[in-house]
Amino acid sequence: MNPLLRHCFIAACFVPLMAQAEIPPTFQLDSTIQVRKDELTRLYITPTRIVSKYAGAQNNLIRHEDVLLKAGNGQAQMGQKDCCLMTSTENEKASILLDFGRELHGGLKLVMGTSSYRTPALVRIRFGESVGEANSQTNNEEWKVGYSTDDHAKRDILVEIPRDGMMEIGNTGFRFVRIDLLENNRTIALKEVSAILRYRDIPYLGSFESNDTLLNRIWDTGAYTVHLNMQEYLWDGIKRDRLVWLGDLHPELCTVTRVFGGNEVVARSMDLACQQYPLPRWMNGMSAYSMWYLINQHDWYQQTGDMNYLKQHADYIHGLIQLVSEKVDEDGQEHLSPSRFLDWPSSGNPRGVEAGYRALIIWAMQDASALSELLGKKEDAALCQDVIRRMKKIILPHNNLKQAAALMAIAGTMPAQKACEEVIAVGKGNEFSTFYGYYMLEALAKANEHATAMEIIRQFWGGMLAMGATTFWEDFNLQWMENAAPIDEPTPADKKDIHGDFGAYCYPGFRHSLCHGWASGPTAWLSDHVLGVKIVDPAKKQVSITPHLGDLKWVKGTYPTPWGVIKVSHKKQPDGKVSTSVQLPKGVQRVD
């Protein structure tokens, strides 16, 4: 079953969706009016529960709140029948906190009955990815002083709402909504409070199922995390970082292609980045992210075989190779940029970052060389190999940084087994990161440590699920779980708020995004290494299937390719050997 249908809004998903409307003829005839169709779909989601309410000392300021948990028809009405009534007095004001069951992207629709006055009523709407955030005060200090919790998307809104009408409010990432009545001596009648889910209506072509329900949940959660970020472009976060970041895009690209196939949102996002950051500018203002652009282009071709798209980017790839070569001298010293960035949690280890950064350049040049060969640009391919030769004159130690060791293992500047034994596998999921954790898992696979990687996936990404996550987070640390309350309940006085009390760098406290596409790596990893499917040569339609079940008894799933969906199932026999059943699309050759 499509994982989207497994979530809290199952019933809503079975409501027939309207076909995309044609542009009205009047607009087609009037060339002065510019129009753009909305390519995304909307669903209205009913709350699953009432987390808390404030109904006053006499418990009479909120009545009939259970009607909000029933699906409505979206139509306003006169009167107060079948409405939740919220009342304020001179001294007390009602509030209610609703849970929509899972992280969503969109806004809120209020459908009203008859309020106590004809004039609009002033209310406060607070969206939250956690209960703590929905109950929190907004911090909108200047960047130099603090970090705005309303940055990129407004989550705390004062608005006047009509009676006998309806209103849509907000556009952000959220699971919880708190509504506060602000004026004295008012009663409002809420007929419906629905979340508006705005999403790309596409089928889940990839799938993963095993005898381990936790791994299944992790695969689904990574897929759903990226799905929410597949808006007009591929964002990194639906609450904050609603932008196209070329480094952050790589784990998302890997997840998208394993779940949805070659969806256009990836290519469109890379096109946009080239327009926003023409050479000689670095992607997103960071030289490391231009390296990720090359890796993205390589992996996009590998998964889609789209030679026409690659040719469209040939000039940019050529210019970027030239730019990098000019900034690496014969002694192996590189002068790409004074700034160094891998991911936020590695920032406190500059020596390790430097080692990882150099490995990233080598990896990017390896992929750029392969792209140049595909494009028939032999001189560019040779230049990439020469950059690699120069860069390998200086191989820095990983300085006990897991991010650096992972990149060095992938780039081949350090044996993968050595990288895993010395740092990556030490402490298992401790000092993992949601972004670079994917590359740590890839390094473990290179070292044939698949069982260890699966143990870490359960520990680290499973830890977020244990704390109430329904999407994966911008950052996470296993130590945060100690004496912390989950995100879906109010935090007791003797516990930490795992959302509000942690976070660092540009995401302290409630600014921290709890739906970040770069954290979806385990979904792609499980498809590639446990299901074991790999596209070997897209031009020749060649694939390999090499499963690694670890402690699993069985696993089955599907894997999208440009030629159709591969279906595989693996079962461990009593002697430990694995029996495999494979269905390949017509014309696809297995070469493992």
- Phi, psi for 371 (deg, rounded to 5): -65, -40
Which amino acid would we find at residue 308?
Answer: N
Specify the pLDDT at position 150. Answer: 82
Among 49, 83, 62, 56, CA closest to 176: 49
Report which DSSP code applies to 490.
Answer: P
* CA separation for the pair 159, 123 (Å, rounded): 6
Please name the helix (run of DSSP H) or strand (run of DSSP E) that holds residue 145, with its range, or none.
Answer: none
What is the pLDDT at residue 21?
Answer: 56
Q: What is the pLDDT of residue 139?
A: 72
Angle between helices 213-229 and 450-466 (to 10 degrees): 70
What is the rounded distance in angstroms from the CA atom of residue 425 to the CA atom of residue 437?
A: 11
Task: Yes or no: say if 590 and 583 are a contact pair by the CB < 8 Å rule.
Answer: no
pLDDT tens by residue, the chain, 592 residues: 455 445 443 333 333 333 445 777 777 667 788 888 899 999 999 999 999 999 999 999 999 999 999 999 999 999 999 999 999 999 999 999 999 999 999 999 999 999 988 899 999 999 999 999 999 988 766 544 456 788 889 999 999 999 999 999 999 999 999 999 999 999 999 999 999 999 999 999 999 999 999 999 999 999 999 999 999 999 999 999 999 999 999 999 999 999 999 999 999 999 999 999 999 999 999 999 999 999 999 999 999 999 999 999 999 999 999 999 999 999 999 999 999 999 999 999 999 999 999 999 999 999 999 999 999 999 999 999 999 999 999 999 999 999 999 999 999 999 999 999 999 999 999 999 999 999 999 999 999 999 999 999 999 999 999 999 999 999 999 999 999 999 999 999 999 999 999 999 989 999 999 999 999 999 999 999 999 999 999 999 999 999 999 999 999 999 999 999 999 999 999 999 999 999 999 999 999 8
Instruction: Report the phi/psi class of residue 569: left, alpha or beta, with left for phi > 0 and alpha for psi in -120 to 50.
Output: beta
Neighbours of 204 (CB within 10 A): 20
Residue recorded with tokens 């070469």: 591
- The reported pLDDT for the residue numbered 2 is 52
* Helix, strand, or coil (residue 99): strand
CB contact burial 87-96 (16+ within 10 A = b; e otherwise):
bbeeebbbbb
Q: Can you spell out the DSSP letters for 511-567?
A: GS-S-BGGG-HHHHHIIIIIS-EEEEETTTTEEEE----TT-SEEEEEEEETTEEEE
Question: Which two tokens mark 246?
Answer: 């070329």
Cβ atoms within 10 Å of 53's Cβ, excluding its own: 19
First to last CA, the chain: 29
Asked if 236 and 506 touch (Cβ cutoff 8 Å), the reply is: no
pTM beyond 0.75, yes or no: yes
- In angstroms, the Cα distances linking 576 to 12, 356, 410, 553, 570 are 44, 38, 29, 9, 12
Helix, strand, coil percentages (3-state) for the chain, rounded to 5, are 35, 20, 45
Q: How far is CA 108 from CA 147, 296, 549, in A?
A: 25, 35, 43
Helix (H) / strand (E) containing 52: strand 49-54
Runs of H (alpha helix) within 305-415: 307-312, 314-326, 350-374, 378-391, 402-411
Query: How does pLDDT run across 174-193, given as a tens digit for each residue?
Result: 999 999 999 999 999 999 99
Give the model's pLDDT for residue 142. 54
- Return the bridge partners of 578, or none: 572
Q: For residue 280, say if its preceding peptide bond is cis, omega within 30 degrees of 0.
A: yes
